[in-house]
Amino acid sequence: MVRTAVLRALHAPAPASHPTWCRWPCKPVLTLGLTSASPLRVSGTVQPAKPNVWLDVYELVAGHRRLLRRRRVRVSQGRFTATPSLGARRGRRYVLVARTTAGGGTLAGASPPLRLSIG
């Protein structure tokens, strides 16, 4: 489902329908990919479109994510592009995740993690 689902229950005994409509928000679908390695540039999509997404940058330390920074990125027609600053040093590993907040008929959502290594 891409939009909020609207459901109206029907059953056999009279009255056959209930006058109240029920709404279930859906989870947005986000993508995130590497557009350019130098300079670092990522882009992605969000459906249904939202006004902005949050781009989280994590450093992997001993197999655990440590949040380095969070940045709001504008979305235009369901697409966004960003140039995250990693403060990159050699031998470091990073994970980037694009997220949306709940609201506007959707739940909160997150992209699959994008893993980067600075060699």
Report pLDDT digits (tens) over 8-19: 666 666 665 656
- Phi then psi for residue 57, to 5 deg, are -115, 120
Where do the domains of the chain lie?
Answer: 28-118
pLDDT tens for each residue of 40-88: 999 999 999 999 999 999 999 998 999 999 999 999 999 999 999 887 6
pTM, whole model, 2 decimals?
0.80
Does residue 6 have a pLDDT over 50?
Answer: yes
The owner of tokens 């990125």 is: 73
pLDDT at 31: 97
Enter the DSSP assignment of 111: P
Q: How far apart are CA 36 and CA 28, in angstroms?
A: 25
| Residue type at position 82 | A
pLDDT at 86: 80
Q: How far apart are CA 59 and CA 85, in angstroms?
A: 12
Q: How far apart are CA 110 and CA 45, in angstroms?
A: 11
Architecture label for domain 28-118: Sandwich (2.60)
